[in-house]
Amino acid sequence: MYLEQADLEGNENGGTHKNLDDDGRPKRTGTWVTASAHIITAVIGSGVLSLAWAIAQLGWVAGPVILTAFSFITFFTSTLLADSYRSPDPVTGKRNYTYMDAVRANLGGWKVHLCGLAQYVNLIGITIGYTITASISMVAVKRSNCFHKHGHHEKCNISNYPYMIIFACIQIILSQIPNFHKLSWLSILAALMSFSYSSIGLGLSLAKVAGGGHARTSLTGTKVGVDVTAAQKVWKAFQAIGDIAFAYAYSTVLIEIQDTIKSSPPENKAMKKASFVGILTTTLFYVLCGCVGYAAFGNDAPGNFLTGFGFYEPFWLIDFANVCIAVHLIGAYQIGVENPICYSDSSVSYDLPILQRFLGSHRSSLFLAIDVSLAAAAGSIEGLVISLKAYKPFQSEQ
């Protein structure tokens, strides 16, 4: 009787342990496929819509080169972070659940505060960008239906602010989901949405090019004295580089994505494969959307290349694309912003193994990243100053 009871308890304990990982948390079930979906959701965001404009500022030579260069930079940095998920050994070490945990474990000291400040400033910027872009897409659907119903002579002025509130309310509801691992369905849905609106924009651009449009393009992009002044050429080129860099950014959520992957095969190997597939997929879409969009609109490419097709016909297709953008940004907000904020940071401190070695041996890459960030910030601030001169708060465009 005693032996039977002991065997029963052992089986129960063994069954319990089978459902837990080495850190005592529920067993992770993610694979490189689900991680790739998370990466595509985090990377292919509203940034893809501005790539045609970015290529227009840089031209046929510099534009695709910079797009490709940032794909290599993103993959390189993602491999470094993938090896930082566990410390000090990338396969058997202690898990770091968040980006800040990895910084604390591998760098420590004042670098934790510096990277934390950079991460949360970045997240604030992303939240603002996602909210504005999603509301613009919602308003675009409303305006398109208004034009279709009342005719093109109607003004159909609609404020973005109620739709920003709607977007915020949806995020509040979704934020009640306590476990990042339960968001795989939302990530896959968002990835499908990103493919959908990118494909629609790409298809419409190809149709415009095939239709015989004669858009002005050049090897160097917009022409000084024709499209822009010399000063504007410099500022907009900086801003275009920043747009491309923003379109690839997902490093601050990579650790959180990796924390969803099961431990066999090792998480860092699965994450590197997921990063390769995700970045290769997004780069293909980016080059196609950016270059074909530039071919369609030329040096007059709009900031959102979907708006270049107007609000008229085929209105239903434009509506569907804008709905896809809104749905994708709802998912991207949760994957890229909400979960890093919700994760609580531990107070454990470690030595400086992996990241510090890489940072020491790749200082040129670090300084290049800083230079790109400063140039992009300068271009963005200049554009913001110009926009603020004409901006009227709480009023819709006339």
**29-385 CATH fold:** Hydantoin permease (1.10.4160)
75's tokens:
């993959």
* Lowest mean pLDDT, pick from 138-152, 200-214, 325-339, 357-371: 357-371
At 141, the amino acid letter reads V
Contact 68, 290 (CB under 8 A): no
The helix (H) or strand (E) run that includes residue 238 is helix 230-248
Which of 156, 153, 154, 161 has the alpha carbon at shortest distance from 136?
A: 161
Tell me the three state secondary structure of residue 27: coil
- Rounded Cα distance between 334 and 327, Å, is 11
Q: What is the pLDDT of residues 283-307, one digit of tens each?
A: 888 888 899 889 988 898 888 777 7
Cα end-to-end span (Å), the chain = 84
Q: Is the pLDDT of residue 357 over 70?
A: no
**Cβ neighbours around 3 below 10 Å, total:** 7
Positive or negative torsion for Cα 212, 214, 215, 221: positive
Q: Is the pLDDT of residue 22 over 90?
A: no
What's the mean pLDDT in 233-240? 88
What's the mean pLDDT in 189-214? 81
| Predicted pLDDT of residue 227 | 86
Which residue in the block uniquely carries the two structure tokens 């009342």?
150
- Rounded Cα distance between 48 and 63, Å, is 14
Please list, in sequence order, all residues whose beta carbon lies within 8 angstroms of the beta carbon of residue 304, skipping any fewer than 6 positions away: 49, 50, 136
Q: What is the pLDDT of residues 320-335, one digit of tens each?
A: 888 888 888 888 787 6
Omega before residue 265 within 30° of 0, cis: yes
Q: How many residues does the chain have?
A: 398
What is the 8-class DSSP label of residue 256? H
At 253, the amino acid letter reads V
Work out the mean pLDDT of the chain and round it to a whole number.
77
Give me the helices (H) in the chain, please.
2-18, 32-43, 51-82, 99-106, 110-150, 161-174, 184-210, 230-248, 251-258, 267-297, 315-333, 339-342, 354-361, 363-390
What is the 8-class DSSP label of residue 168? H
327's tokens:
């749905």
Angle among Cα 391, 396, 398 to the nearest 5 degrees reads 90
Q: Is the pLDDT of residue 375 over 80?
A: no
Which of 106, 88, 104, 85 has the alpha carbon at shortest distance from 96?
A: 85
**Cβ neighbours around 62 below 10 Å, total:** 18
Burial label, 343 (beta-carbon count in 10 A; 0-12, 13-18, 19+):
middle
What is the 8-class DSSP label of residue 334? I
Largest CA distance in the chain: 94
| Predicted pLDDT of residue 311 | 52
* Lowest mean pLDDT, pick from 34-38, 58-62, 246-250: 246-250
Helix pair angle (315-333, 184-210), 10° resolution: 150
| Predicted pLDDT of residue 274 | 92
- Rounded Cα distance between 79 and 268, Å, is 8
What's the pTM value of the predicted model, to 2 decimals? 0.75
Contact 318, 140 (CB under 8 A): yes
At 89, the amino acid letter reads D
Give me the helices (H) in 83-183, please.
99-106, 110-150, 161-174
Q: Is the pLDDT of residue 273 over 90?
A: yes
Residue 15 vs residue 38, higher pLDDT: 38
How distant, in Å, are the alpha carbons of 65, 224, 240, 243, 376 from that of 235?
Answer: 19, 12, 9, 12, 9
Which residue in the block uniquely carries the two structure tokens 């505060």?
113
| Predicted pLDDT of residue 269 | 93
Tell me the three state secondary structure of residue 120: helix
Q: Is the pLDDT of residue 41 over 90?
A: no
Share of the chain above pLDDT 90, in %: 7
